[in-house]
Structures are given as structure tokens and as C-alpha cells.
Amino acid sequence: MTVTILAILGMALATYATRASGPYLMRGVVVKGRLKAALDALPPAILMAVIAPTILTTGLAESIAAVLTAAVAFMRAPLVVTVLTGVISVVLLRMVLS
């Protein structure tokens, strides 16, 4: 086995360990009250954390595009329209602001 294949398999195992361990953490746990409030917040908190550096610290174009995208999303636009708004506005804003 080459060291490249070894590295890929190591990465694959490490990644699968992170994916498979979540459900085991929750086994036998009764989810209610404060714990339920905390877990309900987990998906939006993680989604926000993934994109926060892009939309807050990359540049003005990305930050403005994020605001426009959020505004369109809040008007209950379909997801495709929301994504297109983000993509088109970031391209235009980068042209204008650079």
C-alpha cells in the first residue's frame, strides 16, 4: 500500500468516526426541556457558524450579498431564487467594489 492510499484511508476513517459517533452520543438520552431547546438550536447554530467567516470577514461584497440573500429568503422565495440572488449579487458587487 502506498503512503498516499494510507493517508486517504486514514482521512476516511477519521471522517467516518465523526459521522458515526453522533447517534451513539444520543443513545438512551431523554430529550426534553432545556436539553431539547439546546439541541433544537444546534442545526441553525452550526449552519450559521459554517458561513459566518464568509459573510462577516471576507469583504464588503460578501456581507452585502448575504444581507440581500437573507432579505429574499425572508420573503419566502423558493430556495433556487434565494441561491441565485446570492450568486448574482456577489458577482455584481465584486465587480463594483473591487
Partner 1 sequence: MTSTAREFRQGLLDVLPILVAAAPIGLLWGTLAASKGLVPFEVWLMSATVFAGAAQFVAIEVWRDPVPWVLLTVTALIVNIRHVLMGASLSRHLGGIGRRWHPFMMFLMADENWAFSERRALKTPLSLGYYFGLALPMWITWTTSSITGAIVGRSFGDPAAYGFDFAFSAMFIGILVGFWKGSRTAAILGSSAVAAALSKLYVPGAWYIVIGGIVGVLVAALLYREGERS
The residue ranges that bind partner 1 (CB under 8 A) are: 3-23, 25-26, 31-57, 62, 65-66, 69-70, 73-74, 77, 79-80, 82-83, 85-88, 90-91, 94
Can you read off the three cell numbers belonging to residue 48? 450559521
CB of 65 to partner 1, least distance (A): 6
Closest to partner 1 by CB, 35 or 60 = 35
CB of 2 to partner 1, least distance (A): 8
Amino acid at 43: P
Closest to partner 1 by CB, 56 or 96 = 56
Four-point Cα dihedral 65, 68, 69, 70, nearest 10: 120
Phi, psi of 75 (to 5 degrees): -85, 15
CB of 97 to partner 1, least distance (A): 14
Within 8 A by CB and 6+ apart from 94, the residues are 61
